[in-house]
Amino acid sequence: MKTLVPAVAIWGRTAPSHSITAVMITDDQKTIVTGSQEGQICLWDLSPDLKISSKEILFGHTASVTCLAKARE
């Protein structure tokens, strides 16, 4: 049985910069993925009424994210 452990990022009064350099939308059109010049990847929820809300921010790249691609199952 898999157990999901959500990651929690804590920062000060403002979130880290996220200068978008790459954008991808999932096949189900419910999630937008953005890559940034700062090296982060962000996941965004897209509601049926086209409202976008942040879901997750992934840290770890040391260079700009210039391309995003879907992985095969």
Prediction pTM value: 0.74
Q: Which of 2-6, 13-17, 38-42, 55-59 has the highest mean pLDDT?
A: 38-42
Percent of the chain past pLDDT 70, that is, above it, reads 81
Any domain includes 35 = yes
Burial 47-60 (b: 16+ CB within 10 A, else e): eeeeeeeeeebeee
In total, how many domains does the chain have? 1
**Mean of the per-residue pLDDT values of the chain:** 84
pLDDT for residue 57 = 85
pLDDT for residue 72 = 77
Task: Give the Cα separation of 21 and 35 in Å (integer).
Answer: 6
Any domain includes 73 = no
Instruction: Check pLDDT > 90 for residue 63.
Output: yes
Q: Which domain holds residue 55?
A: 20-59
Contact 18, 61 (CB under 8 A): no
